[in-house]
Amino acid sequence: MKRMYTAAIMTVVAFHAVAAQAVKPTWGPAPAVFPAGARFTVLAGDPSKAGEYTVRLAMPNGYVIKPHFHPVDEHITVIQGTFLVGMGDAVDVKKAGALKVGDFATAGANMHHYAIARGRTIVQVNGIGPFQLTYVNPADDPSKKVAATK
């Protein structure tokens, strides 16, 4: 009887191992809506389309994402480094909270927030697409600056 249970458990474990898909991140430049210098990888889904997605953003020390908002909730987990997050329409390091490795935060839909990387920082973001990032001050949008120089 014990062998039968062991065989059944091994079958279930083998099934789950095949059903789960491991993803090795493929890093590239972050989309143009982010300031230069960040790296980006898609782990699941397609952030440009409707539906769930999971992405990672790697930022160098001192990297700043100026005040912005999203039309849907954004769920953030810190994978490496320290991620300073503040609420409001202006970057104020003194008012930003520090998220450390393993910490989790949700930036609610349409909440104005900003972020700063302390040390090399990687965050994982889960959301519902299509992904949109709108800067509070349109002049802060790097993708508009690129388009204006062409």
Q: Which of 131, 136, 130 is nearest to 114 (CA)?
A: 136
User: Is there a contact between 34 and 118 (Cβ–Cβ < 8 Å)?
Assistant: no
Confidence tier at 12 by pLDDT (50, 70, 90) = very low
What is the CB neighbour count within 10 angstroms for residue 139? 8
Q: Checking DSSP bridges between strand 39-44 and strand 64-69, what pairing results, if any?
A: unpaired
Give the percent of the chain with pLDDT over 90.
Answer: 79
The pLDDT assigned to 146 comes to: 56
d(CA 62, CA 91): 13
Q: Which of 150, 83, 78, 88 is nearest to 116 (CA)?
A: 83
| pTM recorded for the entire structure | 0.82
pLDDT digits (tens, 9 = 90+) for 40-99: 999 999 999 999 999 999 999 999 999 999 999 999 999 999 999 999 999 999 999 999
The pLDDT assigned to 23 comes to: 80
d(CA 7, CA 26): 37
More confident residue, 137 or 22: 137
**All structural domains of the chain:** 24-137 (2.60.120.10)
d(CA 35, CA 52): 24
Q: Is the pLDDT of residue 129 over 80?
A: yes
The pLDDT assigned to 11 comes to: 47
d(CA 125, CA 45): 12
Structure tokens at 33: 């809506």
